[in-house]
Structure formats: C-alpha cells, structure tokens
Structure 1
C-alpha cells in the first residue's frame, strides 16, 4: 500500500500554491486580463490554469509549513511581487492615455470625455482611442505571451522564498513614472507642436484683426486639424509601440533581477 505523508502533500500543494499567489497578483493589474471588463472569476481561473501549466517546469518550491507565520509572509510577498511586475506593463498603457490627453487638450477636445470601461475613470475620447489601439496592438504583437514568459522567468531569477524585491529595484519604480511621462510626451509631440503653432497663428490673427471673430472657425479648424494629424502620424504608431513595449518588458524583468 502506498503511503502518502503530510510532508508530501505539503510539497505538492506548495509547488502549485506559491506560483499561484505571484501569478494571481500579476493578473490583478496586467493589461487585458486585469481590466474591470474581465470578471474576477475569470481572472482567478486564468491564474489557476497558468499556475498548473507553469508549475511542473518551475524550480522546486521551498518546503514551508502551510499554517506557519512564515507561510503567510511569503504569500503576501509573492502577491506584491506579481503586482509590482504588472505595474510596469500598466505604465505602458498609461503612456498612450497620457499622450491622448495632451493631444485632446491642445486640439480643444479636453472637455469631450467618457468613462473608460476598463478602469472606470473618465478620460478624453482621444485617450480612449489611443488606449483601445494600444491594447489591440499589445495582443496582436504577442505582448500577452511575452509577459507570461517574463513572469515565468521571474521564478528562476527570484525564486519563492529567496527574499523580496531589493531596495534598489523598488527605487527603480520611481524611474518608471519619469519614463511614462517622457514616452507620453514623445508620442504626443508631433501633434502638440503642430497644434501649438496653429494656435499661435490664430492668436496673432485675432490680435491684428479684433473685428474678425476667429472663434467661429478656430475651434472646428483645430479639431479637424488635430484629427488629420492623428491620422497622419498613425504610420509611426506601431514602431513606437513596439519600442515602448520592449522597454516595459525590460523594466518588468529588471524588477526581480536588480539586487
């Protein structure tokens, strides 16, 4: 008769449970699956399925008593690691929301806002357009597969029980916000610069000819020009997106690699 000890059961559970906690934390904020449009039950099922697929190829998990204080500490630790890694990819989407916000304000559509169903906040229609396009491109270029690959490699670089993210890596998160704003400005720069020049020209016309009601044509002209510039710059959208996606995946990988 085959005897199964409590230690064996604990080892089997640990091999799947510890990866599940990190994966669940990651899927809470990850692009596409972390959206409010995806029910929590679906995210949980995806987390369990991913853990079942990855667990057999991951390094052996540490033997830790499941009801000990150390077990609770490691559980919280793994969830926070997953959330921090997903934050890097959320920064990627925020780049395009920020770019759309700047373009909308410059072209006079800052008041035209709508509720983003993916996160429940109010954004401009231009930002929503950029967000939808970025999300579709993320899936089209295989970003969802790349993020799972980086997540799986994190168990090798930073195994369960090997400690938390280093202080240097935590400080690097501050640099992510700088990167996000710089990338957003870079995306919006062609449209913002063009619209700013046109705005200045309209201001000069208004100043030189006060009797000329520039507002009657200025606002619709700025909106049409802004839409035309967005259309004209779509050709460079994919190269910029791929470049920023690589940066975000590198930041995600470096978070657990920096010691």
Structure 2
C-alpha cells in the first residue's frame, strides 16, 4: 500500500515544538525538587552519586506534573520566567538547608562531647560531608540519619516539598522574610538540640573533670595524664553506652521538629506578595 499525503496526515503524533514545550515545562517543574535533593540531608551526601540525585529528581517531578500548575511554554521562554526560576531554586534550597541546619545538631553534640572527653584528636573523614570530624560526631550523625530513614522521615520530607507545589504554584510570589526567619529559627533550634543531646554525657564529664582537678590540686605528684585521661575516656564510653537507649527517642523528637519546621516554612512562604 502506497502512503499518500492524506494517509500521513491522519497518523497521530506530536510536533517537535510541542515536545520541546513539554520538556521545558518538565525541567522548570524539576527546579524546586531538584534544589531540595541537592541541599537536603541524606540526599546531598557525598556517597550518593550525582547521577542518582538527577534520576531521583526526575522521578519525583513526574507526579508533580500531574497536579502542578506549570505556565505555558510560551511564557517560560520569555524573560518573565527568570525570576520564577530563581524563586523555584530559592524554595528548594531553603527547604533543604533548613533540614541540613537542624540535622547538624547531632554533629555539634558529638563534637562537644569529644572535645570535653579529650577525644577531639580522634577524627576521620565524614562520608556524608567529606570533612574531618570527630568519631563521636560521626556516630551521632549516622545514628540520626539511620533513624531518619527508619521512620520514613525522608519520605515525609519529600511529601512536604511535593505538596508545596499546591501551596506555592510556579510563578506565585513568595514571602522571602518567612524563608529568612525559618533559617534563623533553625539555627537557634540547632544549638538548643545540640545542648539537649550532649547534656547527659557532658554534665557527668564536668563532674569528673572537677574531681580530677581537686585530686591533682591536693596531690600535685600525681600525673594528670596517667590517671585523668583513662578515667575520663572510660566514663565517656560508659555514658555513651548507658544513654544510647534514650538517645533514640530524643533524636526521633528532633526529626519530628525538623519536619514540622519545614512544613511551617512552606506554609508561611505561600502568603507572600
């Protein structure tokens, strides 16, 4: 059968301009969730390849295209879309950085425990950040990430970001002050959470150090490093072992607070102008 012009005209298909327009809308919708994947804890860890993050952002954008109000390609191809693009990146980065700041409380608590116990020299490369951190801080950080995954906190965080497309449609103005306030509040909460996590161990170490100081003051012939450091190290390990059962619920509470802070930030940013 010979194909005529009328036969070819009846074959359904997409024009190249329509395909490019759909790809432009898809990439524009991926900016927010992609920025979150790049900056959020666990997803932004160095042991996760960049290719995996890109694939994850693509798959997360597929359900977004089903309900998000994406502007038409004609509008996205103009200079009007440049502020929208910056706004989408700001929302995603702010969401990821709020969680990153709050999750830093575990590393800070571990570093303070290590410095108080004299374990600051025991540092190695952190697989998540690629920097040198004390081993105690890495234990706290990995424990927090394990609890975060075990309680499906990563799914809850992704759900909040995806739901933000309904709260803050693409192109809608946002309240920048709400994002700045959320970052400041997250920083304040980070120090508070770090103190709460380290206090059970550091409080006992403070008493031990005062006792060692009194002993060395009353008996100067006793070498501080001969009995003080082994005693402090032993008590630190015992305290970490004894406080491990209560550390899980405490970290779970901090994760819940971080997710609540993320949800509050997206809701507050939606009322902008």
Q: TM-score, length-normalised on structure 1?
A: 0.92
Q: Please list, as runs of the form range in 1=range in 2, the aligned pairs for 1:228-239 lying within 5 A after superposition.
A: 228-239=238-249
Tell me the C-alpha RMSD between the 2 structures.
Answer: 1.9
Number of aligned residue pairs: 258
Q: 1:34 aligns with which of 35, 44, 49?
A: 44
Residues in 2 aligned to 1:12 and 1:34: alpha-carbon distance in whole angstroms: 28
Matching of residue 62 in structure 1 with residue 100 in structure 2: no
2:68 is paired with a residue of what secondary structure? coil
Residues in 1 aligned to 2:124 and 2:187: alpha-carbon distance in whole angstroms: 24
Matching of residue 205 in structure 1 with residue 215 in structure 2: yes
Q: 2:202 corresponds to which residue?
A: 192
Residues in 1 aligned to 2:18 and 2:51: alpha-carbon distance in whole angstroms: 29
1:123 is paired with a residue of what secondary structure? strand
Q: 1:80 corresponds to which residue?
A: 90
Aligned-pair CA distance for 1:177: 0.6
Q: 1:215 corresponds to which residue?
A: 225
Matching of residue 129 in structure 1 with residue 105 in structure 2: no
1:69 is paired with a residue of what secondary structure? coil
Residues in 2 aligned to 1:226 and 1:212: alpha-carbon distance in whole angstroms: 22
**Taking structure 1 as reference, are residues 180 and 224 closer, same or farther at Cα in structure 2, changes over 3 Å only?**
same
Q: 1:94 corresponds to which residue?
A: 104
Residues in 2 aligned to 1:188 and 1:85: alpha-carbon distance in whole angstroms: 26
CA deviation vs aligned residue, 1:213-233 (integer Å, no higher than 9, x gap): 232011011111101101111
Aligned-pair CA distance for 1:55: 2.1
Residues in 2 aligned to 1:238 and 1:111: alpha-carbon distance in whole angstroms: 26
Quick check: 2:102–2:187 contact (8 Å CA) kept in 1? no
Residues in 2 aligned to 1:98 and 1:197: alpha-carbon distance in whole angstroms: 21
Moved more, 46-55 or 62-71: 62-71
**Taking structure 1 as reference, are residues 128 and 3 closer, same or farther at Cα in structure 2, changes over 3 Å only?**
closer
1:96 is paired with a residue of what secondary structure? helix
Q: Unpaired segments of 5 or more residues in structure 2?
A: 1-9
Residues in 1 aligned to 2:26 and 2:36: alpha-carbon distance in whole angstroms: 15
Moved more, 203-212 or 111-120: 111-120
Residues in 1 aligned to 2:132 and 2:13: alpha-carbon distance in whole angstroms: 59
Residues in 1 aligned to 2:235 and 2:175: alpha-carbon distance in whole angstroms: 47
Q: 2:263 aligns with which of 240, 253, 257?
A: 253
